[in-house]
Structure formats: structure tokens, C-alpha cells
Chains A and B, each alone.
Chain A
């Protein structure tokens, strides 16, 4: 596997050359400070750029073009890392050796930049017909989280605990903002994105990277260089403890416990946090939360814990019956106290570290995971797998205790089931 970074004039390209996969993958990411953009406008722009283009003026025509390129997959995504709002456009395609057409790679790359550089703008407006369809679709997407109790609980609780912070905002924007976006706004937004955003291109596959980068340089030009350093972590003020109960029509109650923290060290974020999370609530049925909530007390089917480093909190989640909430809370507090006291069997602790490294090996078989790890290493300072292999064995139970001390139980959210 060969990693290579290309610092070009106004964008960077990160490549991994490997013959491990039958497919190849290219992604273009536009990254900008979330505080400087209108989320609804940016999200609608991303959707419109993926929906149609000047060359492919209907979705149908675009899909036909993709199918002709051996079912080329062209997708877009919008997500946030700390204060970084990222819009991505990705192509997933068969390695050219499986295809008889010699021009296949050129055709694939040509498609991507054709679509990105020539969006469906006519007479100073994005295509009104597409925009109207997409607005309707995004309105529906904005409400989709309400269809599952856990996704509702997570979204609603984040908006409540972080109501004045970026951490509480949804990457999709809001209904109100979306309604106000016009086709002309999207043209300005397109120009703003190309002007202000950092641009990074990620490529992985068995390709001649130097030659491919040259091809891209010939096809893709971004008018300006973004220099601003955007923090990858949002540090929120630590709230005093609060508990909220919300009524619902769902069949199952959701209990979410938030633990806030001030900044973790890079070492804690990269190496201690993953082991802490496994032992507390993410170890395939052997963790403390599963033991106390499910195995010993039959309170739930699922429960867990995850650390959200980019928004400085940890969250315990449980789906259970309303009448069991009090008992479950006691068990969660008990599990967390044990983390604080370092009450962890040494053998189990060592085993979980080994298991974490074994899982990394599995992740190395994932084309998307590999390129993402490289990107997050280069842009946000996350560890590369080689560093995990070196550092994880050094993590101690004391390290977990130190991390546990930084966690403060500040918010308990209960989404109560409706009456049967």
C-alpha cells in the first residue's frame, strides 16, 4: 500500500495505491467553517450538483450515463467534523482492467469533473425544476429522524442540550431556512463554495497515481486557496445537571445520558477513548453496560456508549420500558463509577486492546475506511493504523480512570413511550 499526498495550487490530493480491491474510489470534498455558511443552502446545493448537470439535465439522463459506465456509483454526502462542514461527491467504479473500453478511466474522471464544474445553471439560475424536487425531498429527509425512537431521541436531545451551539445544529439545516433558498442563491452558494472552501480529493485503488493526478490537474481548477484553519472540535460549556422527559407515541422508551468533557489530549482521543468506550459500552456483549442492563437485569435489548470527540461529549443510550428507567440509571451510574475507580479485570482490559487492534485489521479490508483514515490523519490529526498498533498496547487502566474523571454527567434525556 503506497500513500502519497499531492499539494497542488488550490487543492490537495491524497492517494493510496493498492491492488487489494476490484473497485476504485474517488471523492472530492469541499470543507468550510460551518459558522460561515447557511446550512440549508449548502445542503441543497450539494444535492442539486449530484442530481443533474448542464450535460445531464434530468436525473434520468444522469443515471443512464452512470449505467453506461458499468453502473458507476455517484453519490454525495454532507457532514460536520467539529466546525468543519464538509460536502463530498464520490465515485465508486470498477477497476479499468475489468472493462473492455480503453477510455474507461478517462470517461469516469471526465464525468466527475464535468458534473462538478458544469452544474445545471442556466440564465443565472440553478434549474428550477430540480430545485423544487430536491427541496421537497430534503423537507422529507429533515423529518425522517422522527420515524425511529432512537434517532428521534438522539436528534431531539442534541438540540436541547446544545441549543446555542454548533453541536446542536443538524447538517441538513432547517425547514424554515430551506424554504427561503432560491435558485439564484444556489448560484452564489456554488461560487462561494469554490471560492472559500478547502478542497481535498481522495483516491484509492490500483491506479497510476502520478498520471491520474496530472489528468485531474488538466480537468479541475479551483480559483482560490483556502488557508483558514478550522477547528475539528467544538468545546461546549459544561452545563449543570438537567433531566428532561419528553412524551411520545413510540412503543419503547429511550434513555440517553450525556457526559460532557472539556478537551481531551490527542493521546486520549486517539488511543484511550476507543478502549474506554469498548469496556464501558461497546464490546460485543461483554461490556459493563450490557452486563448490568441486559445480562444481569434483563432491562433492554440494546444499549451502548460512544464518545463524540468532535462535540466533546459521551453518550449512554438504552431502549427499554418506561418502568425500568430508574433502575437503568442506577446501573449506568454504577458502570461509570467502576470506570472511575479502574475496576476492570486486567486480563479483560488487555484482551479488549488486542480486540481493538484485530478490528483495525478488518477495517483495512474496507476501501472506504482506508482512505478515510488517511484523510482524517492528514486533516484532523487522527492516528494512522501504524500508530494504533504502536500506542494501543501502552494504554493503561489509569489512563481510562483519568479520562473517566473528565466526564461529567450533565444531562439525562428520557423519551417516554406512549400508552399501550
Chain B
């Protein structure tokens, strides 16, 4: 076991790895009652095509999510969540683009919870009847997504920006995808991705780290796993150009929502680590469009927009810079947002005040076991490790770094997207 020190925030993480490859991360907060455990597999909604031993496989969109539902069922069709209930814990599971997570939250019997989690997810008996009875609820979940304007916009924008990346379809899958997912698809996905070498365990909260790590290692020693198939993934050659410059859809929104998105090749930016680049881009967008920007104040005072938001998304070899607003005047607002994006300012005072705020958030964040667990799982999947120097990264950002990045952002691959309210009678 070794300790990973998180510099500047007074925190540490206990780390170990089982003989079978399963990595274990433990963070302790003795002041709380709660603990959370997550078993995370590096396989998610976007892994629909892969190669094992030079043989190509593909599964329908929605397979990872369907499997997540099936993993949460016992052989008799009852819910695995009920088993956690018996331990006075609650549990959940979630499928993301790049991972699938199974988790519990409780206050007593951490070892019982870990045993149940590991034993029920690391082995699986696929029962056809369970699969068929779960298809109905999953179809209803997919129909729910059709009523969600934000989701429709997210995948709609990705479809406008990317030719090849598998980020253009909702992870739940479409109803026709879900209809055709078979037992074989689920088994294939499970056999390919659900292996200790392709997973990690994060335990956070009021726990004894030595006890947790010892227990997990002993638990794993009792199990035998086949050799991991180690899937390879398509090397998507994604061009710098975008699919289309403007698109409009109709959805259940009361006011139109407009989005301006820029596809930025990471290779076009100065060579810095990805976290620094992300932090700089976020700071720049927030200072130009956020609640302390003069631009936003003017847009709101002129009643051109009701809300104004920004985000920076990391999609493989690209960043997506996004600005969106709720507005009654979509066609007037879009060119203004585009123009502002093309002329980003660097407000030194503003940016350094925001860095100070971010550091305060960072210190506060290490308190809630559920939040810390989620953040660790996010970092391990996205960056391959828990970041130990977030505070240093923020404190190390200089105005020159920011100017260097801002000057290099190519603003020519820009998409505008409008979500209009459904017309009466639609």
C-alpha cells in the first residue's frame, strides 16, 4: 500500500493493487458517518466497436447501458439493490460514455457491502428471462430522453461537429437499438470489459483503509478470472472540419435555446498538460461570458438573453468550447455570441479572482464522501490517475499562459444550434 498525497489541500489517498490487477483507492473522512464504494469498469456507452485478437466486434448503441441494468438484477429477476438494502445501504449504477460504475452508499458494515459489490458484479449468470423483462423499462427510459431538450441538444451538437466520434448517440440507445440488443451482445460486452485489469475500486468516507485494502485483496485472491481480452478500439481519424455550420431542432422547451460551439484541435494549442489547458479555457470563457462579465451584463440588460452559460468539453483529440443562452431572439443573439467568441478578452483581475474562488472550492470539496468518490472516478478514467497537484496547476497559471492559449484558439470551425419550442399542433 502506498499513500498518494494531494498537495496543498491536506489530503491523501491510500492506493494498492491486487494480484489480478484490480486497483484500489481509499480516501478517509472520520468526521462523517457515511462511506461510498464504487467499482468502475473502463467500458461505456461509446465502446460499441472493438477488436479482440484481431477480430472485429460491434454491438448496438445502448449495450453498455442495457448490461448495467442486467447486472443490477439477481438471477430470479429481483433487484440487486434489494440485497444492498438488507445491509442498510443504498446502491446505484450508471453508464457514462467511457465507463460504467456500480456503487453503494452506507453507514455500517463496509466489508459486507464490498463483498456484495465485488461478488455480484465480478461474476454473472445471464438469464434470458431477466433480459427480456428489463427491455420494457429500458425502452421507457429511452422515451424519457426524447422529452429532454438538453440531451437532444448535446447529441445534436456532437452530430454537427464530429464525423466519426461515437459521441453522437445517447448512451441509452434509440428504441430500435434497444429492441435488437441480444443476450450475446451483453455477454460479449461483459466478457470484454468486465475484468479486474480493466477496472478499479474507489472507497471513500469513514473507513479503515488498511482493513478495506486487506479485505479486497483477500476477496480477489479467492477468484479466478480468464486472461483479459484487452480490446483495441478504432483509431478515429476525425477531420478538423465540422459536419454542418447551423442546425435547428424542435423540442419541449418554452423559450428558444441557442448554442455556439467551437471545435478546437488540441494539437493547435500550446503544448501544456491537458488539465492546465482545460483550466485556462474554462477561466477564459467564464471571464468573458460569466456572471462578472460586462458582456453578459449588457446582453441581459438589453433583454437579449435570459441566461448565458459556458462549458469546455474534452472529446478525444478536440476540445469543444460551448456558449449557450435562453433567448426570445435566437437569430439576433447568435451572431453576437459568435463575434464575442472570435474576440475573447483576457481580464487579468477577473481571472485571478476566479482562480482564488476555484481554490476555495477545491478545499471545500474534500469533505463529502460521495462527491470525492465521483471526482476520483472521473479523474482516474479521464487522466489515468488521481491528480495530486490541482491547486498547484491553478496557482501556476500565468497571464502569459492564458494569452498564449487564447491567441492559438482557431475559431473557424464553429457550429450554431437552435432548440426551438414545438409549434402548437406538432
Contact = CB atoms under 8 A, between A and B. Distances in A.
A21 interface: yes
B85 A64 contact: no
Given A71-B357, A140-B306, A284 B81 contact: yes
Contacts of B254: 140, 143-144, 146-147
A358 B107 contact: yes
Contact of A148 (B107, B148, B367): B148
| Chain A: number of interface residues, binned into ranges | 35 or more
A155 interface: no
A320 interface: yes
Contacts of B356: 67, 70-71
A136 interface: yes
B144 interface: yes
A24 to B, nearest CB: 11
A362 B297 contact: no
A418 B303 CA distance: 33
Given A22-B367, A295-B78, A320-B140, A67 B354 contact: yes
B52 interface: no
A67 B357 contact: yes
Interface string A240-256: 00000000011110000
Interface stretch (B128-136, B309-317, B402-410): B128-136
B79 A298 contact: no
Interface in B232-268: 252-255
A302 B34 CA distance: 26
Interface stretch (A9-17, A55-63, A188-196): A55-63
B143 A252 contact: yes
A144 B257 CA distance: 13
A63 B364 contact: no
A372 B84 CA distance: 28
B137 interface: yes
B107 A300 contact: no
Contact of B34 (A58, A250, A283, A361): A361
Given A146-B252, A147-B149, A22 B141 contact: no
Given A140-B306, A365-B368, A285 B82 contact: yes
Interface in B87-106: 88-91, 105-106
Given A249-B252, A284-B91, A22 B364 contact: yes
A362 B105 contact: yes
B143 A251 contact: yes
Contacts of B146: 251-252
Interface string A145-162: 011110000000000000
A351 B85 contact: yes
Contacts of A20: 31-32
A64 B253 contact: no
A94 B33 CA distance: 21
A68 interface: yes
Contacts of B291: 59-60, 63
Contacts of B143: 251-252, 321
A299 interface: yes
B363 interface: yes
B353 A68 contact: yes
A71 B252 contact: no
A319 interface: yes
B146 to A, nearest CB: 4
A329 B34 CA distance: 38
B292 A64 contact: yes
Interface in B106-148: 106-108, 133-138, 140-141, 143-144, 146-148
Contacts of A362: 33-34, 105-107
B300 interface: yes
A301 interface: yes
Contacts of A357: 88
Interface string A219-255: 0000000000000000000000000000001111000
B140 A64 contact: no
B117 to A, nearest CB: 15
Interface size class, chain B: 35 or more
A418 B424 CA distance: 12
Contacts of B274: none
A140 B79 contact: no
Nearest to A347: B86
Contacts of B366: 22
Interface string A354-392: 110111011011000000000000000000000000000
Contacts of B301: 129, 133
Contacts of B148: 148
B375 interface: no
Given A67-B354, A355-B85, A365-B33, A59 B297 contact: yes
A136 B328 CA distance: 11
A71 B354 CA distance: 8
Contact of B79 (A60, A64, A285, A319): A285
A362 B35 CA distance: 9
A46 B22 CA distance: 52
A358 B147 contact: no
Nearest to B251: A147
Contacts of A132: 303
A67 B364 contact: no
B195 interface: no
A321 B353 contact: no
A343 interface: no
Nearest to A356: B88
23 contacts: A60-B297, A67-B292, A68-B353, A71-B358, A71-B360, A94-B360, A132-B303, A136-B306, A146-B252, A147-B252, A148-B148, A251-B144, A251-B146, A252-B146, A285-B79, A286-B81, A300-B140, A319-B144, A351-B86, A358-B88, A359-B90, A362-B107, A365-B32
Closest 3 CB pairs of A and B: A298-B136, A71-B357, A358-B88
Interface of A: 19-23, 58-60, 63-64, 67-68, 70-71, 94, 98, 129, 132-133, 136-137, 140, 143-144, 146-149, 249-252, 283-286, 290, 294-302, 319-321, 351-352, 354-355, 357-359, 361-362, 364-365, 418
Given A251-B144, A358-B107, 16 more contacts: A60-B297, A94-B363, A94-B364, A132-B303, A143-B255, A147-B149, A252-B143, A286-B78, A286-B79, A297-B136, A300-B137, A300-B140, A301-B144, A352-B85, A361-B33, A362-B34
